[in-house]
Structure 1
Amino acid sequence: MNETDAVRSATLRARAEIDLAALRANVRSLRAHAPGAALMAVVKADAYGHGALACARAAVEAGASWLGTATPQEALALRAPGAGVPAGVRVLCWLWTPGGPWREAIEADLDVSVGGMWALEEVTAAARLAGRPARVHLKADTGLGRGGCAPGDWAGLVAAALAAEADGLLRVTGLWSHFACADEPGHPSIDAQLTRFREMVAHAEQQGVAPEVRHIANSPALLTLPDSHFDLVRAGIALYGVSPSPEIGTPADFGLRQVMTLTASLALVKNVPGGHGVSYGHHYVTPGATTLGLVPLGYADGIPRHASSTGPVLVEGKWRTAAGRIAMDQFVVDLGGEEPPPGTEAVLFGPGDRGEPTVEDWAQAAGTIGYEIVTRIGTRVPRVHVNAADTAGTADGTGDVSDVTK
């Protein structure tokens, strides 16, 4: 038995299998959608629940030249000894609060985002202490109304950044922004934000900023708005084979494949009579004599409680639905009289090859978005990374298991 067989046959309560071959293929497909731009693989929030280090390495292997994180701690982990991220790959982190680890970021050769004067003051002070210039992306608020510098304050921020650059304290390596409604085709804010971004970039460049990259395209813009690609595109949820929204298309429409498959082993199968209440509150009562299967996953594992009575599960080739409330550690499915043995695999979601539900099916069942479904899968569920070796040229696409993490 080789390592792959050993891990796959291990008795696990549940597992989130992460197909790194699918992730690499997604990177290549996304690069084809934006051939004139570099690609940033966004691996924030532990790579949307998929395992940041393994996914970052796989993305780089497939041609991503940038990595993106929200917090500086996430970015610093990518630069840590043994992380396996090549030194030449740029890493940008953008979610800063006062007192953040600016000096550590500078010394780790990270790119940092600055969207206000307070941040510029802190990063320049840190650069003095570090004795080397910071790599700074100036962020413009072009209409999202969240992070970034407001248009009325942009001239002042640009002037201050250029003064700090002249003093050798920083290098403005990027100008960037973020869309509010790129996942809603035709939304009027899209063109308005693009126009505002061009204007703010033009002002900065006229004043003397010479950025390495300009970027505004997130996953939906990467897939549907070629005019937004500029020098760099940021692939987030699309990297993991989940569509940014059903309105713009399915993963297959864009040549993408879902990376995560979530399974569990049935913990119990039992016969019950008709009229039997199931789970808290008895919101489900068996319509007749049947069998119930116990799935050992619950909202403590990230299974949304809002999907009670609606969440789909594939058991022995048939879709079943969560019967009643999803509890903290478990939920029940009505097996309709069938009696699979305990330990039988229950597939909550996967790419759909075997007819199983997908992330989008769970998002619809819970009234949320696919982003939330994958990122909320908790730490009690081991991530099993498969196809760690790049086997794009092989016939069957099989590969080895890279690691099993919790």
Structure 2
Amino acid sequence: MNADLLVDLDQYRANLAALRTYAPSALQMAVVKANAYGHGMVPMARAARQGGADWLGVATPAEALELRAAGDRGPLLCWLAVPGAPFAELIDADVEVTASGVDQLQAIAAAGDRPRVQLKVDTGLSRNGAFGPQWDDLVAAAARLQEAGSIEVTGIWSHFASADEPENPSNDHQESVFRAAVDQLAAAGVDPGLRHLANSAAAVTRPSSHFDLVRMGIAAYGIDPDPAVHVPEVRPVLTARTVLANVKRVPAGASVSYGWRWTADRETTLGLVPVGYGEGIHRTASNRAEVGFDGNRVPVRGTICMDQLVVDLGDQPARIGDPVTVFGPGDDGEPTAQDWADAAGTIAYEIVTRLAGRWSRTYRGER
């Protein structure tokens, strides 16, 4: 099946350069977790290093170790580990790890010779990180272990809950809590090291949160963190493209796909697009999304299936094998990932990140 994700590495590097202008005094971390938001982790990591990213960020130990196995040797932070995580391997691979509690910090300290550790404080997202008395205990343990030479604290960080809503009062609250946590760590005799709080949205809209490093995720891939947080200097990196697998002329009254949720009110041409929810296409976008065909947008008709979806080509000439753009930058009138997110009732992050199954990937601008 000819279903391909075209990834523009030159554009990705250009996006990182453009985003650097928002936080010129801070280091830049390119976040490549979750297979680089669906773009392919190893090629995107390599392009990020070439583009001058100071750090890479991943969620899981497996992601960090995959990057090291692929040859990456630069500063790399891993932040999501469960009991039994391979801390010894991470330390041997010179990966900086995150501690979100005392037990985790002790496990890290026991796994290697003076491992480099960053501490995560929960400032209000109520996800990972230490909060309240847990943070007090983590600070005390970090001070004790560092004094004993068992660890080296290299950073403190947290994550916004509502940075994509710049006026949300939670942003002020979280930044205030973060500043207090930094001061508490310093008061315990531990140099906080790298302080980082800002994600893509905060890097663009909240200069006070830049501190020493900003973490560039979705915006680096050319997608706005939210429609309300538009970043005009970047453009999408990924184009999802395929070809028509079938073309047929149907009469008025012909119904389409499972459940007959769309019926033609006129004679029309239907095109079969050979991707579906097995490739990560959202079924919830049935009868709502569009694809690009021959310079036009054409609507998805009926229920999106596991391996295929149907589009209404109207009276446009079409042949089997003609190209289709499921989504892309929008330069040629095709829908974007945000358009698909709107149709599916979700966020653009999910549209690109969940791409899976039988796509191949083609990289433009490899060095």
TM normalised by structure 1 equals 0.89
Find the residue that maps to 2:259 and give its secondary structure: helix
**Shift of residue 124, structure 1, vs aligned partner:** 1.4
**Shift of residue 151, structure 1, vs aligned partner:** 2.4
**Shift of residue 258, structure 1, vs aligned partner:** 0.3
1:336 alignment counterpart: 314
Tell me if structure 2 keeps the 8 A contact 1:57–1:84. no
Find out whether 1:49 has 2:31 as its counterpart.
no
Aligned-partner residue type, residue 351 of structure 2: I
Q: How far apart are the structure 2 equivalents of 1:209 and 1:16?
A: 46
Pick aligned residue for 2:100 from 103, 109, 115: 115
Aligned-partner residue type, residue 158 of structure 1: V
Deviations 1:353-381 (A, max 9, x none): 11111110000000000000000111310
Tell me if structure 1 keeps the 8 A contact 2:278–2:357. no
Q: How far apart are the structure 2 equivalents of 1:211 and 1:21?
A: 35
Pick aligned residue for 2:127 from 137, 146, 160: 146
Find out whether 1:74 has 2:63 as its counterpart.
yes
1:195 alignment counterpart: 176
Tell me if structure 2 keeps the 8 A contact 1:142–1:151. no
Aligned-partner residue type, residue 315 of structure 1: F
Aligned-partner residue type, residue 98 of structure 1: P
**Shift of residue 118, structure 1, vs aligned partner:** 1.5
1:6 alignment counterpart: none
Pick aligned residue for 2:248 from 259, 263, 270: 270
Tell me if structure 2 keeps the 8 A contact 1:140–1:151. no
Q: How far apart are the structure 2 equivalents of 1:18 and 1:49?
A: 10
Pick aligned residue for 1:204 from 185, 192, 217: 185
1:244 alignment counterpart: 225
Find the residue that maps to 1:325 and give its secondary structure: coil
1:100 alignment counterpart: 85
2:109 alignment counterpart: 124
Q: How far apart are the structure 2 equivalents of 1:52 and 1:100?
A: 21
Q: How far apart are the structure 1 equivalents of 2:204 and 2:161?
A: 15
**Shift of residue 271, structure 1, vs aligned partner:** 0.8
Unaligned runs of 5+ in 2: none
Pick aligned residue for 1:27 from 2, 16, 20: 16
Q: How far apart are the structure 2 equivalents of 1:102 and 1:84?
A: 19
Q: How far apart are the structure 2 equivalents of 1:84 and 1:316?
A: 41
- How do 1:1-400 residues align onto structure 2 when only pairs under 5 Å count? 13-80=2-69, 83-85=70-72, 87=73, 89-127=74-112, 132-249=113-230, 251=231, 253=232, 255-389=233-367
Find the residue that maps to 2:111 and give its secondary structure: helix
What is the root-mean-square deviation of aligned Cα atoms in Å? 1.0
Tell me if structure 1 keeps the 8 A contact 2:121–2:131. yes
Tell me if structure 2 keeps the 8 A contact 1:273–1:290. yes
Find the residue that maps to 2:13 and give its secondary structure: helix
Aligned-partner residue type, residue 123 of structure 1: I
- Sequence identity percentage: 50
Structure 1 runs of 4+ with >4 Å offset:
none
Tell me if structure 2 keeps the 8 A contact 1:271–1:337. no
Q: How far apart are the structure 1 equivalents of 2:351 and 2:257?
A: 22
Q: How far apart are the structure 2 equivalents of 1:386 and 1:25?
A: 13
**Shift of residue 120, structure 1, vs aligned partner:** 1.1
Deviations 1:61-116 (A, max 9, x none): 11101000000110111111xx242x2x2110111111111111111110101011
**Shift of residue 117, structure 1, vs aligned partner:** 1.3
TM normalised by structure 2 equals 0.98
**Shift of residue 294, structure 1, vs aligned partner:** 0.2
Q: How far apart are the structure 1 equivalents of 2:136 and 2:316?
A: 69
**Shift of residue 185, structure 1, vs aligned partner:** 1.8
Q: How far apart are the structure 2 equivalents of 1:221 and 1:388?
A: 30
Aligned-partner residue type, residue 137 of structure 2: G
